[in-house]
Structure 1
Amino acid sequence: MGRIFGTDGVRGLANRDLTAELALDLAVAAAHVLGEAGAFADQRPTAVVARDPRASGEFLEAAIVAGLASAGVDVHRLGVVPTPGAAFLTAELDADMGVMISASHNAMPDNGIKFLARGGLKLADDIELAIEKRLQEPWDRPTGAAVGRLGDSRVGVSTYVRHLTEAAGVRLDGLKVVLDCAHGAAFEVGPEAFAGLGAEVVAINAEPDGLNINDGCGSTHLDGLQAAVVAHGADAGFAFDGDADRCLAVDADGEIVDGDQILAILALASQAAGALRSETVVATVMSNLGFVQAMEAAGITVVQTAVGDRYVLEALRAGGFVLGGEQSGHVIMSDHATTGDGVLTALCLAGRMATTGRSLAELAGVMTRLPQVLVNVPDVDKSRTETDPVLQAEVAAATGRLAGHGRVLLRQSGTEDLVRVMVEAPTLEQASEVAEHLAGVVRRTLR
């Protein structure tokens, strides 16, 4: 069996790659590993389980709950809650572990399982590996009163919304916003949080039926949000993905504000408030060079990590920093969350608009984005991305041609079977030319 955990939990085609049997086995193994690590201490362990609205989440939830209960874990089912909500409620309800069932921005047929440790923290790589090794091992099954019990939490959404509004801390009266909920986990939480702070809310794609999640909407399909913001004369629009751990924005003119721009706005706001610890922000290697340059101009240090919000979080914790994020819209404010939180990000952006009286376009103008082209190359041996000598020679040559005015990055996708080729350059034409050339090299050399 190959490695099961990717960069963000276990993910695959539901009922084909990610089956009920695997979900049950993973739940049992997770209960055993976390128990031996001391998370359960000497008391009866508890877990919270949440999901996004996709149809397959229903049977996967049933399998995970069965696995946990069979291992002696009491389970609180939260129902449909965003991933950051599940993380918050794992800590708030003092649970020993949490489970989120979601494939995030992936299409509806996919699904995934993310495990959270006590406090709502994502698992370290060694814990995930230990869980994999314990799959289907023989174990002593509890019986009688020792088996886990099940219950449904009735306070999840309202408790999480209250947390969001308290963390945002700014009234939004007078602002009109459009929220694209991706027919996903934020369909209730997003509109309730914004309305609770006084904003006028237009919610689109907020009617999940189990089949329409991420279907031409949300943070990976911004056309609808752009049109809606302009049509409704809104001050801004915010798009979430299926599990609402990321957010992208649109200004009043319908122009996209990406994760790098969002992070820059929030970093400068935190710096102005004297709250940016160590004058440092954490980003990933995919962050636009323009973001790095803008932060340097403001006297802010940028610490860069591998792609994945778990690695951003690790760097935040290791350095004692408070703000980090990804170009894709994962933004972590560690004073308020243990993972990316799309709704909180949107609330803080809107709050910055409200407190400064500046438009989102003005705030985003703090950085100039270098043209960036990303080409995904599927159906190749991605494991050789960093070792193939021909490919590496071509990357070095392309980097040399950019002469310090751009950069090249090739990386394996952690969630899909493909290689990502990213190029930044002074002009879009140059970035496209270099990216397409390197994508062709990847196709020829990694087949």
Structure 2
Amino acid sequence: MSSLFGTDGVRGLANGLITAELSMKLAQAAAVVLGNTGPRTGLRPAAVIARDPRISGDYIAAAMAAGLASAGVDVFDSVIIPTPAAAYLAADLGADFGVMISASHNPAHDNGIKFLAFGGLKLTDDLENAIEEELTRPSPRPIGAGIGRIHRFADAEDRYVAHLLSSLQHRLDGLTVVLDCAHGAASACSPRVFEDAGARVIVIGADPDGLNINDGYGSTHMGTLQAAVIAHKADLGIAHDGDADRCMAVDNLGHVVDGDQIMAILATALDAAGKLRDRTIVATVMSNLGLKIALGQAGITVMETAVGDRYVLESMREGGYTLGGEQSGHVILADFATTGDGILTGLHLAAEVARSGRTLAELAAVMVRLPQVLINVKGVDKTIASTHPIIQDMVQQATNDLEGKGRVLLRPSGTEPVMRIMVEATEMEVAQRIASTIADAVLLHASADESAVMAAGVQP
């Protein structure tokens, strides 16, 4: 696994990790690894570049464009559009690859660089490693006509909006929708799409100033949207994150509808229409057990993957499945997108409300979420915590005690010395008791810091 690339590109503090110098070098390395992968025979390689509105995006985009052009790549600059728009436009244009500059739901001081392979697909680990290895080699220096040009992709948003609207089979006339754009990349196009689809739209969190992205708004701050839905007596609310690849919702009663519930609603609708391939969806091991129970009762299979939308996407491509996603709101509708698309997901969720004539609260009732407790135990040796016989015995005993009406998941974090303990049960008190007991055992038997054990009051 690459050391520079994380689970979703290169991400970190702008002008800390993500400097202009690194941005240019990454662009030049990507030009070598990802250039000439498309069908543009006899033409220079081409790349679509886009960003969210955070302030550091200006210098990073400029450095990336300069690096790509200096390496002989024609650049189509889409300016501020969502990540799924960059993926769609890279595929629609037939570009060799795409670049999205965003730190997603992170605060404004962070930024990130995400590459998209030919067709708008996420990079494999091998491609990420190849780009990082290329950083150690001299950059290509074409001259004269071999140098790339930088074009303003003037109709980028129009093409993406038209694509989204073309995916709908039912308009949103009569619906009132509150959109929370997180002061992010969806601020311009999401309201436009929902209005063009026929909805009455109330917009919040759509005044980006470069510094307020994800600040009190968006899919990680749902309270603002909940209040707005109630205040406006709306049919539903849709929340995006900074780069708009997520969709979380709020029903007409002001309750949060998460990614699992959205998948349950869309899965049953697609299945009823005969459009759910193999009557199967793909979700991660962190999805609520209620999703599996609800869809199992409807005859729909839930295939599980490791945590991360890239693993969901890989499984979906391998099996040719229609629908997949994560509890966090990364929902993939594979007939229309190569990645999670928060605007697309919100549109189709709203369309099902309009088509069915039922409220979102009624639709969401197809799935009953089991009480879920997640405890992060910090400062532990993840290898010991994952293999210690006493801890494993406790997990197995708790699983047996739940008798199929809950589950226990012990998972190491992929980025920090943390063990995540997730427990689901029919009663919150039971889930909390089991999770706390296992967390104490992890801290006792796998702590990398004896003082942490003492501070927690865990007795040997």
Question: Could you tell me the TM-score, scaled by structure 1's length?
Answer: 0.95
Aligned amino acid, residue 4 of structure 2: I
**CA shift in 2, pair 1:71/1:389, >3 Å:** farther
Q: What is the CA–CA distance in structure 1 between the aligned matches of 2:345 and 2:221, rounded to whole Å?
A: 18
1:149 aligns with 2:149: yes
1:64 aligns with 2:64: yes
Structure-1 residue corresponding to 2:212: 212
Deviates more, 1:296-305 or 1:140-149: 140-149
**CA shift in 2, pair 1:416/1:113, >3 Å:** farther
Aligned amino acid, residue 314 of structure 2: E
**CA shift in 2, pair 1:213/1:417, >3 Å:** farther
Given that residues 385 and 411 in structure 1 are in contact (C-alpha distance below 8 angstroms), is that contact kept between their aligned partners in structure 2? no
| Identity fraction in percent | 61
Aligned amino acid, residue 298 of structure 1: A
Cα offsets for 1:249-286 (capped at 9, x unmatched): 11111011111110000001101111111111111111
Deviates more, 1:428-437 or 1:353-362: 428-437
1:81 aligns with 2:81: yes
Deviates more, 1:209-218 or 1:422-431: 422-431
Structure-2 residue corresponding to 1:356: 356
Given that residues 409 and 421 in structure 2 are in contact (C-alpha distance below 8 angstroms), is that contact kept between their aligned partners in structure 1? yes
Q: What is the CA–CA distance in structure 2 between the aligned matches of 1:416 and 1:244, rounded to whole Å?
A: 26
Aligned amino acid, residue 5 of structure 1: F
1:366, distance to aligned residue in structure 2 (A): 0.5
Given that residues 372 and 424 in structure 1 are in contact (C-alpha distance below 8 angstroms), is that contact kept between their aligned partners in structure 2? yes
Structure-2 residue corresponding to 1:21: 21
Structure-1 residue corresponding to 2:433: 433
Deviates more, 1:300-309 or 1:226-235: 300-309
Aligned amino acid, residue 83 of structure 2: T
Structure-1 residue corresponding to 2:51: 51
Q: What is the CA–CA distance in structure 2 between the aligned matches of 1:200 and 1:38, rounded to whole Å?
A: 41
Q: What is the CA–CA distance in structure 2 between the aligned matches of 1:2 and 1:267, rounded to whole Å?
A: 35
RMSD between superposed Cα atoms in Å: 2.0
Cα offsets for 1:35-82 (capped at 9, x unmatched): 376777653100011011111111111221122112111111111100
Given that residues 324 and 333 in structure 1 are in contact (C-alpha distance below 8 angstroms), is that contact kept between their aligned partners in structure 2? yes
Given that residues 280 and 300 in structure 2 are in contact (C-alpha distance below 8 angstroms), is that contact kept between their aligned partners in structure 1? yes
**CA shift in 2, pair 1:346/1:37, >3 Å:** closer
**CA shift in 2, pair 1:37/1:91, >3 Å:** closer
Structure-1 residue corresponding to 2:335: 335
Cα offsets for 1:387-442 (capped at 9, x unmatched): 45565454344434434321122334446664432211121112122223334444
**CA shift in 2, pair 1:191/1:288, >3 Å:** same
* Runs of 5+ unmatched residues, structure 1: none
Q: What is the CA–CA distance in structure 2 between the aligned matches of 1:110 and 1:204, rounded to whole Å?
A: 23
Q: What is the CA–CA distance in structure 2 between the aligned matches of 1:380 and 1:150, rounded to whole Å?
A: 49
Deviates more, 1:256-265 or 1:369-378: 369-378
Structure-1 residue corresponding to 2:453: none
**Secondary structure in structure 2 of the residue aligned to 1:220:** coil
Cα offsets for 1:138-175 (capped at 9, x unmatched): 24421222111111111111111111111123211110
Q: What is the CA–CA distance in structure 2 between the aligned matches of 1:207 and 1:417, rounded to whole Å?
A: 37
Residues 29-428 of structure 1 correspond to what in structure 2 (within 5 A)? 29-35=29-35, 42-378=42-378, 380=380, 386-387=386-387, 391-414=391-414, 418-428=418-428
**Secondary structure in structure 1 of the residue aligned to 2:167:** helix
State the aligned residue count: 447
Q: What is the CA–CA distance in structure 1 between the aligned matches of 2:108 and 2:179, rounded to whole Å?
A: 20
Cα offsets for 1:91-150 (capped at 9, x unmatched): 111111000011111122111111001111111111111112221312442122211111
Q: What is the CA–CA distance in structure 1 between the aligned matches of 2:284 and 2:204, rounded to whole Å?
A: 30
Deviates more, 1:149-158 or 1:337-346: 149-158
Given that residues 28 and 140 in structure 2 are in contact (C-alpha distance below 8 angstroms), is that contact kept between their aligned partners in structure 1? no
Aligned amino acid, residue 104 of structure 1: S
Cα offsets for 1:168-218 (capped at 9, x unmatched): 232111100101110011001111001001100000011000110111111
Cα offsets for 1:267-322 (capped at 9, x unmatched): 01101111111111111111111100111111111111111111111111111111
Q: What is the CA–CA distance in structure 1 between the aligned matches of 2:52 and 2:382, rounded to whole Å?
A: 29
Q: What is the CA–CA distance in structure 2 between the aligned matches of 1:411 and 1:361, rounded to whole Å?
A: 32
Q: What is the CA–CA distance in structure 2 between the aligned matches of 1:420 and 1:40, rounded to whole Å?
A: 46
**CA shift in 2, pair 1:145/1:347, >3 Å:** same
**CA shift in 2, pair 1:437/1:173, >3 Å:** same
Q: What is the CA–CA distance in structure 2 between the aligned matches of 1:384 and 1:21, rounded to whole Å?
A: 39
Aligned amino acid, residue 47 of structure 1: A
Cα offsets for 1:225-261 (capped at 9, x unmatched): 0010000010111111110001011111101111111
Aligned amino acid, residue 26 of structure 1: L
